Every structure is written in structure tokens, then in C-alpha cells.
Chain A
């Protein structure tokens, strides 16, 4: 098996995180191909956030290894941060900066040249239809617009992978679909998308889906194959069958 780390956007092998006697993530292994939309599902407390933090270079694994964008999550965390985008479930822009200021700020952090920032920013504002809001504080925008903007900011520096942690929670059904249009557009440019969600219809929009139960990956395949494997026609039913058996409840 190739271990060059360049064939896959993400490659995890026995990745484990312990907190004392508690094994939050228990030896998970999987690969995500470049340009893939990978759905990372699981009940609250199953270990998704911990796993994601290790992949982003924010938490050191207790055992096992992983490469993200070809970089080692133990030793090359700064390279990882430069090559990924991240958007959290809680709104990740500055509410008291304007739309323009937020874009400039985050693009600046990634060290993009000023001329590129200005050109790309104007394009983005036009594409999102935020022309009239460009100089308004982000705090006053509706949630759906904020989330679309936060996603666009997370991929502004052209990362190889973007991690999305429940990006569409609470967003209205129409905007939720527009958000997924943005995701498709990003994958069209070769960006890999690693996404968690509690909306199981969104699991259908992923190329492959993994479902974590009690710190382990209990199932991983395309939505069609998972439904076949569990003898059902909905991802809801697949999720219920797996998560209901969880011992480690969120209580």
C-alpha cells in the first residue's frame, strides 16, 4: 500500500485519542480521496469532534497516525493548518467586522497577496449577492448568508481540504440547498470536503459516508451501498440501526 500521502487527501491508520481511561477515538482507519465529499456522521459523543481536531492538527493523537494533505498530524501541524480550511458549527467570522473586513482579515492570515485578495474578494461578494452588504457588519446578516460567507472564507485561500463541522444547523431549507451548491462548486475545483451533519438527507449528497459509534467507525461506504448493506431505503434507517446500538450514550 502506498504511503506517500499524496494519493489521498486524508489517510488515517489506527488513529486513537484517549483522555485518561476514556477512549474517545478508538483506532479508526480510513482514506479520503482528493476531491471527494466525505460525510462524517455519528451520534453526539461518538468521537467526531475529537477525530476532526486530530486531523486538523489541533489535538495530538494518543496512538496511530494520519496524514492530511500529505502532512503528518503529529509533526507537521503548521503545514496542515496552511493547507486546510475549517468552518465550525458555531459561526466562525467576526460579527463586529464588516463582510469585506472579514474576508481581508482571514485572507491576510493565510498570507495571500493584497492584489489577489482584492480581486478574489470582489468576485466573491458579487457571486454571493452581498454587494449591498459588503460594508455592513456581519453580525446583522441572516444566518444562512453568514454560513455561506463563512464557507467561502474557509476556502478563500484555496486549501486542498475543507473541514465543515455541522455547517447547516438551523439554516432554512432553501439556503441549506444553496450551501450544498457551494460545496459542489468547491469540489469541482478539486477541493476535498470533510463534513459532519445531523441532517440525514445531506448524507445522500456525500460521495461516501462514515458513521462513528462509540469511538469506532461502524460503517463506511457510499450512501447507496450502506442502504443496501442495512437492507433499507433511507439513510435515516441506517443511522438509527447503528446509533441505537451505541453503549456510550451521550446520556
Chain B
């Protein structure tokens, strides 16, 4: 027996005649009660990983266990002990809110009453609409109902595939507050998201792109391991700033990041704030603002992407 809630070893999946690798030898361990994030853009392979771990797709190579059970041999037992919220809304559109919930409870041999405390603070928000057909709910309400349905049989591991995609920033924040409360109840949560800012809300994350894991660690450790020195720079327009920075020798990369451009320079090099300012002024830009900043997960991701391309 192992002590991991989820353990994958060399998990791989390919599709089609050309055997396109969607998941390329992924290995990861998620501890019991951990809130673990798969962070990566659309097409990174997140959904294929989720579908293999929830026994809906057979791996082409490698192995995985969920709750100590094998995803191929023990698929029926795994299905009883995990909750899965797919990226695409997959409840019955022509059943009401209440009927959907009661359906999922029945399928798992339980009742709404038995595990109500687990979903209560989410369900009360949609309860006023319990007679409404699921197909007529707004995006945010659908998302909450889907979460309730994935939780109603009190799963040990909860799989959430892009639960916040297309959701506005305020609603996204509320959703993560719900996840924190579920985690406090001891449920292991594996969540996938393309939003880099959500990485900071996970205990550990895997950065994933094109079917491969780029890095696995706590968000803080991943940010701390960023090898370059990073500056926020602004002088005139964004495009003028980036153009000017790209003519400064020793600048590894420069790109927009909200109001400021982020410029990475070698940590061992001689370029500092004063050198950047002097360069921008020499390029004819006025009143440059330059300050050192800590990299975000997005900065790390951009670095990884560019390393892979070169």
C-alpha cells in the first residue's frame, strides 16, 4: 500500500493514427488531503490526465493509483470513491437542480440528506432555484450545481477539470474559497486551471505544457527557483518599452505584464536598475520607472515555454 491519494508513474496517452502524444510520461504524487493544481493552457493534456485518473480513459503506457487502487484493475471501486467535475457542463439539462442532485445521490447509493453538511454552504446559494431546469441556469449556478453533484457521495478525492474557465475574477475567487473549505474537511483535491494566478491558491502545483510536466513544487518554491533577475519596467507605451529593452544586451526576455513590462536579466550579470534606466533614457524614453519584482507563476511559465522553444 502507498500513502498517496494519487500516484502516477510514467502515465502516457496518445491519439490517432499519428500517435500524437497528449500525455507524455507524467509522474506525480498527491498526498491525502492535499489541494494540488495542474496549471497549464488549453491543449496541455490536463483533461486526458483527469480522464485516466478517473478511469474513463485507458492509459497507453505507465500506471496510476487513486486511493491505493489501480486505475485499470480497480476501476469500479475508484468510481465509487472519487468525485469528478468535467470541464464541460455534463449534468442533465432537462432535469431540475433538485432532480440532478437527487439523481447523483441515488446512483451512488446515498441520499442528499446523508451528506448534506458537505454541500450545504454551496447548495444554499442555488437552493432558491431548485425547481429550475439545469439547462436554464447561469454559468455560475451551473458550476455550483456541478460541484454539489460531484460531492454528494462524499468522495475521498475530488477531480475538478477547469472549474473556473470563463468565470469572472470575483466569482473565481469565491469558488476558490469553497475549495479551501472542502480541503479543510480532509478531501483531496486535484484541480486543473489555465489561470496562472490561481496557482498561488494551491499547496503544490505541476506546471504542464504539451503533455509534459515542466515543474512540480509549492508555488513559493517554484517562484523562488526562478533563475533570472526580474524587473518591472515602464517608459512611455508598452511597445516602446519592450522595443527599447530588447536592444539592451543582457536582457533575456521582455514582455507585457499588465501596466508594466517584465524584463528578465541574468542574475550574475551587471545589469541593474540604474543600467536599465540609463539605457531607456539613451533610447529617448522619458521618466522610466524601473523596479525589481518577484516573478509570478506566469513569469515562470513564460520562461519554461521559451526554454522549450529554443
Task: Spell out A's residues near B (CB within 8 Å).
Answer: 42-45, 89, 142-144, 166, 169-175, 177, 180, 184, 198, 200-201, 204-205, 223-224, 233-236, 239-240, 243-244, 246, 249-251
Contacts and interface: CB of A to CB of B under 8 A. Distances in A.
Given A198-B169, A243-B170, 11 more contacts: A44-B168, A45-B140, A89-B166, A172-B44, A172-B209, A173-B301, A173-B302, A240-B170, A243-B168, A250-B141, A251-B141
B62 interface: no
Contacts of A44: 138-140, 166-168, 171
A173 B196 contact: yes
A158 to B, nearest CB: 22
A246 B301 CA distance: 33
Given A44-B167, A201-B258, A170 B138 contact: no
Nearest to A242: B170
B239 interface: yes
A17 B305 CA distance: 44
A171 B169 contact: no
B256 A173 contact: no
A249 B143 CA distance: 14
B256 A244 contact: no
B249 interface: no
Given A143-B41, A200-B258, A236-B169, A173 B298 contact: yes
A152 to B, nearest CB: 19
B169 A173 contact: no
Contacts of B76: none
Which 10 A-B pairs rank lowest in CB-CB distance, beginning with the nearest?
A172-B41, A250-B140, A170-B42, A201-B258, A143-B42, A43-B168, A243-B170, A170-B194, A204-B258, A174-B305
A45 B173 CA distance: 16
B298 A250 contact: no
B209 A251 contact: no
Contacts of A233: 259
B178 interface: no
Given A172-B209, A250-B139, A198 B170 contact: no
Nearest to A142: B43
A239 B169 contact: yes
Contacts of A204: 256, 258-259
15 contacts: A43-B171, A44-B138, A170-B42, A172-B42, A172-B305, A173-B305, A174-B305, A174-B306, A201-B257, A204-B256, A204-B258, A204-B259, A223-B259, A246-B170, A250-B141
A177 B305 CA distance: 13
A235 B126 contact: no
B7 to A, nearest CB: 27
Given A205-B238, A250-B141, A171 B42 contact: yes
Contact of A169 (B126, B140, B165, B256): B165
Nearest to B172: A198
B141 A43 contact: no
A236 B296 CA distance: 15
Contacts of B144: 251
A180 B255 CA distance: 11
Contacts of A200: 169, 258
B146 to A, nearest CB: 14
Interface string B240-264: 0000000000000001111100000
Contact of B125 (A235, A244, A251): A251
Nearest to B40: A172
Nearest to B165: A170
Interface in B173-214: 173, 194, 196, 209
B129 interface: yes
Given A174-B302, A184-B239, A251-B141, A244 B166 contact: no
Contacts of A250: 138-141, 168, 171
B160 to A, nearest CB: 15
Interface in B101-154: 125-126, 129, 138-141, 144
